[in-house]
Amino acid sequence: MSRRDVIDFVLLSAIWGASFLFLRVGVPEFGPFALIGLRSGIAVLCLLPLVLLREGKTQMLSHARELTVVGIVNAVIPFTLLAYAATSLTAGFTALINATTPLWAAVVGLFWLNAKLSRWQWAGLALGVVGMVALTFGKVDFKPGGSGLAIAAGLIATLAYGFSTHYTKRKLSAVSPMGVATGSQTAGALIVLPFAIAFWPETMPSAKAWIAAILLAVLATAFALILYFRLIARLGGQKASTVTFLIPVFALAWGAIFLGETVTLPMALGGAIVLAGTALTLGLRLGWTRRFEKAPQKL
């Protein structure tokens, strides 16, 4: 990995970690639908001219139906649900839930595509479940004011991301990654627009909330997607996906620095177990596991 790749990797992790901070700041004043309407709409205004100039519109128009599906499951549903989760969960906690996306992708692949999992991936799924239990233990309360619905919303959001991973690979392999990102964001923005208008806040949000919304759209969506696809082009999809592990670290840090959020021991342990399970599910293992697999068995 070159120095430029390392810088892009860390920068992307920091930006996507900050996205949970922006959600936490913006959603109380905008509400989930209005904030996500702004996020997708402004991101499209940034991305669409770049894609049209570089690639044209043919690919996106010929795959409009598939891009609409991805827009729903990779933008509208997860963006809105994560925004709702941010109304009652800390930025760091929401980011740790978001880190379960590769676990859900493995589950969707197993039941939808009959994909076979190695024993290490099964172990990763089991660890991920244990980690989520530890992370949410004592927090799943569905009474008024409880965080049960927010946690459920976050998990459904990551399930949608997991489904989108496989759907995109199966249906949109002929479209460039930037085309998929821009086309799906465009479809998502159009779908969420009526809801954003209907649920637009009666009181004008503060300057702080507007800044958070603009940064969420321009920095954490449009610019971050450009960085991500550049990493995919240079490193490959699997290595680029390991950005998952640094995002919660930055989200926890930004939440602590700017919002005064605290990191409890159960939260840290549960998050660490979730990330370990995610690593195994992605096929990323420490050297000792590979040596163990290659070592001759003693009879």
Does residue 84 lie in a domain region?
yes
250 belongs to a structural domain: yes
pLDDT at 298 over 60: no
Domain presence at residue 200:
yes
* 133-156 exposure pattern, b = at least 16 Cβ within 10 A, e = fewer: ebbbeebeeeeeeebeebbbbbbb
> Is residue 290's pLDDT more than 70?
no
Indicate the number of domains in the chain: 1
Q: Can you tell me the distance from the alpha carbon of 60 to that of 142, in angstroms, rounded to the nearest whole number?
A: 42
**Does residue 121 belong to any structural domain of this protein?**
no
The one-letter amino acid code at 116 reads K
Does 283 map to a domain?
no
Q: For residue 293, is it within any domain?
A: no
Domain that holds residue 188: 3-116+140-261
Q: How far apart are CA 230 and CA 209, in angstroms?
A: 30
Q: Quick one: CA torsion of 253, 255, 256, 258, rounded to 10 degrees?
A: 110
pTM given for the model: 0.88
Among candidate residues 96, 159, 105, 161, the one with its CA nearest the CA of residue 132: 96
- pLDDT at residue 165, rounded to an integer: 87
DSSP 286: -
Residue 127 within a domain = no
For residue 281, tell me if it sits in a domain: no
- The pLDDT confidence band at residue 239, using thresholds 50, 70 and 90, is confident
| Residue 66: C-alpha distances to residues 56, 74, 167, 184 (Å) | 18, 12, 9, 9
124-177: pLDDT as tens digits:
999 999 998 888 877 777 777 778 999 999 999 999 999 998 999 899 988 888
Contacts of 45 by beta carbon, 8 Å cutoff, 6+ apart: none
> Taken in order 278, 281, 287, 291, is the CA torsion positive or negative?
positive
pLDDT value of position 291:
45
- Segment 268-287 shows an average pLDDT of 82
Cβ atoms of 104 and 161 closer than 8 Å? yes
What mean pLDDT, rounded, does the chain reach?
A: 88
Give me the phi and psi of 63, to 5 degrees please: -125, 35
